[in-house]
Chain A
Amino acid sequence: MTTPARVYASLLALYPAPFRDRFGAQMLEAFGDLQRARSGQPLRFWAFVLADLLRSAAREHAAACLAGPRRFALEWGAACALGAMAAALVANSLTWIFSYFYHPYLEGITLPPWSYGALVGVALGVTQVAALGRRLRIGFAWIAASTAATAIGVETAVAVAPFTGPIGYGVVLGAFVGAGQWTVLRSRGLQAVRWVGLSTAAISLTLMSFAVTLHTKLSGLNAIAHSPFTLPMATSRGFLFRGLYAPATGADLAIELAVMAICGLVMASVTARPLSSLYGHQKSA
């Protein structure tokens, strides 16, 4: 191998590995032919080759980022983030409607926690199906399972939260949601223990803001609301959660939406890989 060919071969490392493995040898051959044809103009030749290499390598890396599992992860992340934001908006709407029509005669009547859970489940489920339903082959069953599982999960989590605290809230809710979604995905070879564990981890991780959002909605609604748990983090991170209780200004709403988007992204980051491999498993089967 000539020195220029050796240099070019080492520069091929700039391409993503799959591309290099498939086309590297052919590119090296083409480079050799090109170099022999333009041996009289080494400077112009190298300027041309390097510009071509850098431009195409950058393009390949960009394409690799937006393809395959990474693309799926990005889309799943966007779906979860949008779903969480939609859930916040829907919960806000329910709070607003309830407050608007509230009458002293209704004192003592409160909206049960499961109603918020159901709304969150619907919003998340619908967004996920809208974004990736066709690809993951999930539809109404996924929405129904998410809704039911989140409703039951929130109700149960609120009931046990005084004993378990915020972490227990996340564990209980995550376990219910995971179990509900597993009922839809089990026919595709999804392992129940794995998925429920991931769901539990994902929701526990997002608990900080997710649970606070739910909690503030619940306690904000009910003058004598039961407090599912005390929230020391609400004080310590008051600047973040200040806007979560019945957002009155655009800034409050923006903070709430940002927090929910982060929740969705955390959930997606934990669940994207197993979902992606599940789809691959199904395809190769």
Chain B
Amino acid sequence: MIEREPTLSTLTRAEFHVLLALLGGSRHGYAVMQDVDDLTAGKVRLGPGTLYTAIKRLLMSGLIEESESDSDRRRCYRLTRKGRAVATDEAQRLSDLVRIARKRGLLPSTS
């Protein structure tokens, strides 16, 4: 079987939200869904399908890994060092974009 070295050139929105949720520590799938819902005030809601397709890609890319199961014996996931670095890069990229948008008057200036 041919398996390519997994790469993740771009994060999808769902994947980035999963990484952000896991910055808070190890979580099982539903806890990630809840966290994303809370962090975005209900603006982003991940269904089980979207969540686990994102988890699959993040696992393959080495950005997250499985961790100890919780008390309910549910499978949990946590960020890897690489995952944290990629999340930081993505946040910086988005921050830069927002700064440009502010500069061009698309968003109100904060100062």
Residues on A close to B: CB < 8 A?
Answer: 15, 19, 22-23, 26-31, 33-34, 48-49, 51-53, 55-57, 59-60, 63, 67-69, 71-72, 135, 276-277, 279-280, 283
Chain B 31-46: CB-based contact to A (< 8 A → 1; otherwise 0): 0010000000000011
Which 8 residue pairs spanning A and B have beta carbons closest together? A52-B47, A56-B49, A72-B2, A33-B30, A280-B1, A27-B48, A23-B52, A30-B48
Question: Contacts A29-B29, A34-B33, A59-B53 hold; do A52 and B48 have CB atoms under 8 A apart?
Answer: yes
- Tell me how far the C-beta of A26 lies from the nearest C-beta in chain B, rounded to whole angstroms: 5
Quick one: which of A22, A52, A63, A279 contacts B2, CB cutoff 8 A? A279
Task: Please tell me if the beta carbons of A68 and B29 are within 8 angstroms of each other in the complex.
Answer: no
Quick one: which of A23, A30, A63, A283 contacts B33, CB cutoff 8 A? A30
Task: Please tell me if the beta carbons of A48 and B45 are within 8 angstroms of each other in the complex.
Answer: yes
Task: Please tell me if the beta carbons of B49 and A57 are within 8 angstroms of each other in the complex.
Answer: yes
Most buried by A among B2, B28, B48: B2
Complex Cα gap A95–B18 (Å): 60
Complex Cα gap A67–B7 (Å): 12
B103 within 8 A of A: no
User: Across the interface, which residues of A come within 8 angstroms of B48, CB to CB?
Assistant: 27-28, 30-31, 34, 49, 52-53
Task: Please tell me if the beta carbons of B1 and A56 are within 8 angstroms of each other in the complex.
Answer: no
Complex Cα gap A56–B30 (Å): 17
Task: Please tell me if the beta carbons of A19 and B56 are within 8 angstroms of each other in the complex.
Answer: yes
